[in-house]
Amino acid sequence: MTTTFRPPAVPLVTVDPYFSIWSCADALHADRTRHWTLAPHDLVGLIRIDGRVMRFLGSTNDGPAWRNQRHPSGMVQESIDVRATTTVARFCDAGVRLTVSFRTPLLLDDLELCSRPFTYVECVVESADGAAHDVALYLEVSPNIAASDHDGPVLWDREAIAGWTSMRTGAWQQAVLSHRGDLTTIDWGFVHLIAEARDASRIASRSTLRELFATDGSIAGDDEILVRRGRPLDNAPVLAAAWSLPVPAAGTASAAGTAPTAASTPTARALLGYDDVRSIDYFGRQTSAYCFRDGSSFADVTGRAIADWDGVAAQCDRFDDDLVEVARQSGGDAYAELLSLAYRQSIAAHKLIADEEGNPVFLSKECTSNGSIGTVDVSYPSVPLYLLYQPELVAGMLRPVFRYAKSAEWTAPYAPHDVGTYPLATGQTYGVVLGKIELEKQMPVEECGNMLIMTAAYCDAVSDYALARDNWAELSTWAGYLVDHGLDPENQLCTDDFAGHLAHNTNLSIKAILGIACFARLCDRTGNATDAGRYLDIARRYATTWQEKALDGDHYRLTFDGPGTWSLKYNLVWDRYFGFGLFPDSVVRSELDYYATVTDRYGVPLDSRAPFTKTDWLVWIASLAEGEERARYIDAVRRFVSDTADRTPFCDWYDTHDAREQSFHNRTVIGGIFMPLLMDRRGRKATQ
């Protein structure tokens, strides 16, 4: 996991679409830390070894040079290891070894824990040369994390929580849930730096704090007096903590104040947190994260996070190890690396809240592709991750769509595309002009198929069909729409809308056919055998017609009326998942054989129109293959990730010739690359 794999961006803080901080360079100190939009969200880490100051995190080139010395150089970084819940960076310089961990406990079997707005930071120092060293550590948090879109002054303060000190900063004027959009950052709420009370902490100008630390490793002094300040990016105070971590010659004696589990080595611990006050406008009700559903305050949840530190770390380590093991069995080392990189990104591009009944509602942000919230065709590719580790979150994706579809506002005979623009889940905004739905901008067959497939997959995963029963009128309407319009779709958009409208889309037709089959499955499981048989017969008849109309010699076409064309038929995966048997293995085999003739260095293009591909769909195709054939698809994606010149979070739309990003990064859809693992687990269960 620490070999030649080079993530284009390294996840540091991955809580939700707003509290999301990445390192977009080869070393953590080679650039400023950034939000996924690439706006600077500055974290700075310094280490002082025997009087010499070096950086291990972020950049200090954000202001005038220090009076007493030049900007410190970067500590030599030896490795970076991106695991599912934890990023570990290892440095060695001036006789000292430093290990820095950023751990966000996105453990889906515990939704309360998963929704806590914290990342755990732990720094461990040891002697690398056997000698004793005078070591101090410094961590700094900028107010631009809480107010980078804000022109006004900021405020700051501190409070004691469970024996720790919580410092916070944010905009002076709090306009909660005041804006929506795609490439936007937050300007309400407060970023927190939380350290043990006995550790040094201070709120002051960055130049003052850095110079003090460089002088003697201390930042002693009073917090800056709270006054109105100018733009946060210019001169507002920062939050900082410092630790004295003397390293003994043998590297075994404990440092003063070190937590019991780290007693053998000097260790610094801090929590990075965000109190967004309110997270989502959910159909007119301003709601907070799921962990606050019982009325807990931010201080309450902070106290629990502190108390759970060691247990959370152990749980995360076990999960990370387990994921690597099963991923290697499914697709080798390359697959383990890709899943570890994708895991936090997919989850943290959502916000988890509770509805009025306390049910989980899991709302995606459509990052870099228009900012919609709860987009159905963004949920669809992401569900393999959640079917594997927490099917209730699939239900959490479906609930807001069903709720909106039942409302008087939605009158179309097909499923909605979204429920708003993040963070306002107040009704569809995609393709809606002056309150009216523009049909040519909708995805009728796409979204009906997605909703039926996801509902069937969720109900099947939990062996409970209550969600389907509760929304039967909508599901029936959408199944009927697919029967009428799905076999040979008209000129309309599908989830690959970046490629434009496409009539007679064969892959979209597959989705419609499988959506009808999924409704047949729902009918069967809810005791309606007559309709189950009728819809399954329709799906079978349509699948036969599809094979006749789409065949183009040794493969199947992009469009029914497009000889000489081809496309990735990624929707076929659900035929195997559910075991419908609508499309014979020969269809899959001929497609896989043909893809081998049109592959590029970085994988197979999406279709014959252009040389770009989609990461999620390419790995769905890999799930239809086995052994070395599967590995070729996965290795192509790994090459893209390691070679791309675009330093952004895991991208899902790129050029197969040169590995350049077309757009689309930090999106939830990257959870789709868990499909081979899901299919393998499904296959094992079927044979048990």
Point out the residues of the chain with pLDDT beneath 70: 1-3, 62-70, 150, 227-234, 251-264, 493, 495-499, 684-688
**The sheet that has 424-425: what strands, in order across it?**
285-287, 280-282, 424-425
d(CA 422, CA 418): 10
The answer to whether the beta carbons of residues 545 and 487 sit under 8 Å apart is yes
pLDDT at 496: 66
d(CA 527, CA 540): 21
The answer to whether the beta carbons of residues 650 and 666 sit under 8 Å apart is yes
Query: Residue 600 region, left (φ>0) first, then alpha (ψ -120 to 50), else beta?
Result: beta
Nearest to 31 by CA among 2, 66, 69, 74: 74
**Helix runs in 526-601, H state only:** 529-550, 573-578, 585-598
Nearest to 399 by CA among 364, 430, 348, 429: 364
pLDDT at 233: 52
Question: Structure pTM?
Answer: 0.95
pLDDT at 251: 42
pLDDT at 441: 81
d(CA 112, CA 110): 6
Residue that has been written with the tokens 């070096």 in this structure: 54
d(CA 107, CA 109): 6
Q: What is the SS3 assignment for 32? A: coil
Nearest to 122 by CA among 348, 318, 298, 317: 317
pLDDT at 4: 78
What's the helix, strand, coil split of the chain in %, to 5?
40, 25, 40
CATH 1.50.10.10 domain extents, the chain: 318-687
Neighbours of 262 (CB within 10 A): 16
The answer to whether the beta carbons of residues 171 and 205 sit under 8 Å apart is no
Element (H, E) at 129: none
CA angle 110, 113, 114 (to 5 degrees): 80
CATH 2.70.98 domain extents, the chain: 10-307
Q: What is the SS3 assignment for 96? A: strand
What residues have CB less than 8 Å from 319, skipping those under 6 apart? 84, 85, 107
d(CA 208, CA 205): 5
Token couple for 498: 């970046």
Neighbours of 410 (CB within 10 A): 18
pLDDT at 440: 76
Domain range 318-687, CATH architecture: Alpha/alpha barrel (1.50)
pLDDT at 228: 57
Element (H, E) at 162: none
pLDDT at 683: 81
The answer to whether the beta carbons of residues 29 and 71 sit under 8 Å apart is no
Q: What is the SS3 assignment for 158? A: strand
d(CA 537, CA 564): 31
Domain range 10-307, CATH architecture: Distorted Sandwich (2.70)
